[in-house]
């Protein structure tokens, strides 16, 4: 049976009630790209079947924008995964209440191993775990927490029943520097769970390189800056992931 193409997840990063894109995850690098609902609807109209919605206010330690995120989820008819600052029970409750199909636990949440294991076991089909990595080590953006080798976390998360990881090389996130294929191969080689690539995609060739990892277990690719800057369109990205050419 042939494998399905990777899912393309256009990013909607929310900061100060605006959709933005960041360079290497730094708040001071934010460029406003529009209203969150408008951006989400634009990606849906272009053919995306998934969106990656990020509450950057929460990720940077603020109160977050749960009502705005819920409004974005209600405004579209596609799957949405919500991410950003979800590191405790209260944050998880707010994220689940948005109606998102999937909630991505922050890397900082891994500091509470018992809680993470319980959450993954309770919500196996709605929980993914973010693995933000620098030089093979987990780094929690917005909290300063350092979590040691990512491979150790994957081992105990797999044992808890984790079914999806969102993997980011933080030095490439938003920098249009290309995805870290070696990191993604390493994670895919360690787990049978789905792996979503995040960060660095700048060209259609990057998407084609990611698509080649589908047999290893890669299931999706989050793209933000490349779409916002017009490097390629959603339609072209989908075509690249499916091995066809966009027309019209």
Q: How confident is the model at residue 2 (pLDDT cuts 50, 70, 90)?
A: low
Backbone angles phi, psi at 148, to 5 degrees: 80, -170
What is the full DSSP assignment across 83-106?
ESS--SHHHHHHHHHTT-SEEEE-
Domain 7-242 architecture: Alpha-Beta Barrel (3.20)
- pLDDT of 248 > 70? The answer is no
Backbone dihedral angles phi then psi of residue 218, each to the nearest 5 degrees? -65, 135
Mean confidence (pLDDT) of the chain: 92
Regarding pTM above 0.75, the answer is yes
List the catalytic residues.
13, 132
CA distance 197 to 221: 5
Q: What is the mean pLDDT of residues 23-28?
A: 74
What separation in angstroms does the CA of 165 have from each of 5, 84, 181, 184, 194? 18, 14, 15, 10, 6
**Percent of the chain scored above 90 by pLDDT?**
79
Report CA-CA distances (Å) from 137 to 87, 132, 170, 175: 18, 8, 11, 19
What is the domain partition of the chain in residue ranges?
7-242
The residue ranking higher by pLDDT, 173 or 59, is: 59
């Amino acid at each position: 049976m042939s494998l399905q193409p990777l899912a393309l997840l256009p990013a909607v990063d929310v900061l100060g009630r605006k959709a933005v894109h960041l360079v290497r995850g730094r708040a001071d690098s934010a460029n406003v790209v529009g209203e969150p609902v408008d951006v989400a609807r634009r990606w849906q109209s272009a053919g995306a079947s998934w969106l990656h919605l990020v509450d950057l206010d929460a990720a940077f330690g603020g109160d977050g924008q749960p009502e705005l995120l819920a409004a974005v989820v209600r405004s579209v008819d596609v799957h949405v995964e919500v991410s950003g600052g979800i590191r405790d029970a209260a944050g998880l409750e707010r994220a689940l209440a948005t109606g998102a199909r999937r909630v991505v636990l922050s890397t900082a949440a891994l500091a509470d191993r018992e809680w993470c294991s319980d959450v993954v076991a309770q919500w196996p089909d709605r929980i993914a775990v973010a693995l933000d990595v620098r030089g093979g080590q987990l780094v929690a953006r917005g909290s300063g927490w350092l979590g040691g080798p990512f491979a150790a976390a994957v081992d105990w998360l797999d044992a808890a029943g984790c079914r999806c990881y969102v993997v980011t090389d933080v030095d490439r996130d938003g920098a249009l520097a290309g995805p870290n294929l070696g990191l993604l191969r390493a994670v895919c080689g360690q787990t049978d769970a789905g792996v979503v690539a995040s960060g660095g995609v700048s060209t259609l060739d990057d998407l084609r390189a990611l698509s080649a990892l589908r047999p290893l277990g890669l299931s999706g690719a989050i793209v933000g800056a490349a779409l916002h800057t017009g490097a390629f369109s959603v339609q072209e990205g989908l075509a690249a992931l499916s091995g066809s050419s966009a027309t019209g």
